[in-house]
Amino acid sequence: MSETIRKLSVVDSAFLFAETAECPMHVGSLTIVKLPDGYDGDFYEDFKARIASRLDLAKSLRSKLASTPFDIDRPSWVEDEQFDLARHVLRGALPEPHDRVVAERIAGWLHAKTLNRARPLWELYVFDGMPDNEAAIYSKMHHALIDGGAGAALTEILYETSATPAPNTAAAAPARASGTSKKQDVRDVASSMFAAYAELWRAPFQSSQLGNLELPRSGGSDLASVLLDAAIHSVEWPLRIAANYGEIATAYQAAITNAFKPESVKALDLLSAPSTPLNVAISSERSFAGVTVSMARVKAIAAKAGGKVNDVVLELASGLLRRYLVEEDALPKKSLTAFVPISAREKGDAELKNQVFGMVVPLATDLDDPKKRLETIVAGAATAKELANPFRSLMPHFADIPTFGSPMLLQLLAVFYGRSQLANSIPPPMNVVVSNVFFSRTPIYIAGAQILHVYPMSIPVHGQALNITVHGYVDGLDFGLMAAANVVPDVQRLTRLLTAELDELERAYGTAA
């Protein structure tokens, strides 16, 4: 039997069990690369060989799910003893005219398909033979395995800063997370557990001991092992929380203090977003388009507005949505809101798991003047971030909360919500997800080919049919617009609206070249 690598966190498993046929929970990208001048090799084979040479540095890519009986608790990652790279790195073919628009359409179609849970939850597709000596790489990886920060860390492992790959000797494989265990006999674990309890009671409530408390686990996936491990965890977790009570109480006190500030009280209105044609139940079909805007243009606007690049990204999303809804004669009087993910990942942490929370920001779509929209977004984002910041330190403490029995319930609720079409009837909690992840300041390469663009592809869900994700790469911002095709069949239209909004914003601030 495969050895248990680690149990999924609460956030990781939530992405897994919230998945339905209409809402696949994987993220990905469409990467455009430039092959070297005079290249006459087989880029697919070269690419696959490059991935094979680096797999030992990202061992999570060999991990598959080990579910519990009846999905009664969170599953674990175990090593796939039958791992076959050929099942994960695949060759694709583009129909005429073999260009980027066709690649975007095919990638959108592939993004609608769920991953096979019997194997590691990722796939890569290589499309070569494009004009101008280009090729495209479509990747998808289940969100239970990766978030934006982990994706950037994975990129550093798999890609190169030079067209000539360095020898595969420098990096070391990431250490396994705590909780790694080989399967043990349940009776032996029970005996060890009682011994650990006895030791605990000999020195009760010593915070230094409780904070690092790790009771024995069976590591098995049979029903008896799962029940025993869940019982152990239900005792262990509260003791760890008690040991960190001071830090948790300080964070909650800061959150409450922030919540009662006048600007925060005004922000309570964000808890209810207006309904739009984008906030409905979705089908499993996907439409996708990417567009790149100049980083220099965005930074010039941000400097004039006294904001940051992310504030301008939010304004571009706001202007895009306003233009689209005006054309559809469906712009609500109340401002739309965006959910903006925030990474809780410490610098240098490359572990492939989700460490993220978020904030809700007003998009000021009720304002016609782009300058006023951006100014409102700058102020609203600052308030939202201040409200969210105290919760950053809480994330590690609650990432492993006992969830026995909840995976079954979450799956039932996800299916019920989709089949009931409730998203067509109830107000959305927010209108759109807008995420901005910095990718690389310097050009990067794979198998000797230079990466030109990395267009991110994320997750539409019932009630939010459009997802806007951005990668900052070298001197550009690569926008990935992913939509449910039954709601927004022509996403290329949105890319034109976005570039038009950037032009208008430049005119408003006088930054146009």
State the catalytic residues.
Answer: 143
Burial class (CB in 10 A: 0-12, 13-18, 19+), 303: middle
Is residue 201 helix, strand or coil? helix
Q: Which amino acid makes up residue 237?
A: W
Task: Tell me how many degrees the CA angle 346-352-353 measures, rounded to the nearest 5.
Answer: 75
Pairing assessment for the beta strands 476-484 and 432-440 based on DSSP bridges = unpaired
Is residue 124 helix, strand or coil? strand
CA-CA-CA-CA dihedral for 108, 461, 149, 143, to nearest 10:
-80
Q: How many residues does the chain have?
A: 513
The secondary structure of residue 184, as a DSSP letter, is -
Q: Which amino acid makes up residue 381?
A: A
**Contact (Cβ atoms closer than 8 angstroms) between residue 458 and residue 480:** yes
Burial class (CB in 10 A: 0-12, 13-18, 19+), 436: buried
| Spatial CA neighbour of 49 closest among 100, 89, 79, 102 | 89
Is residue 406 helix, strand or coil? helix
Task: Tell me how many degrees the CA angle 157-158-160 measures, rounded to the nearest 5.
Answer: 90
Burial 227-259 (b: 16+ CB within 10 A, else e): bbbbebbeebbebeeebbeeebeebeeebeebe
Tokens 């060759």 locate to 91
Tokens 């095919």 locate to 106
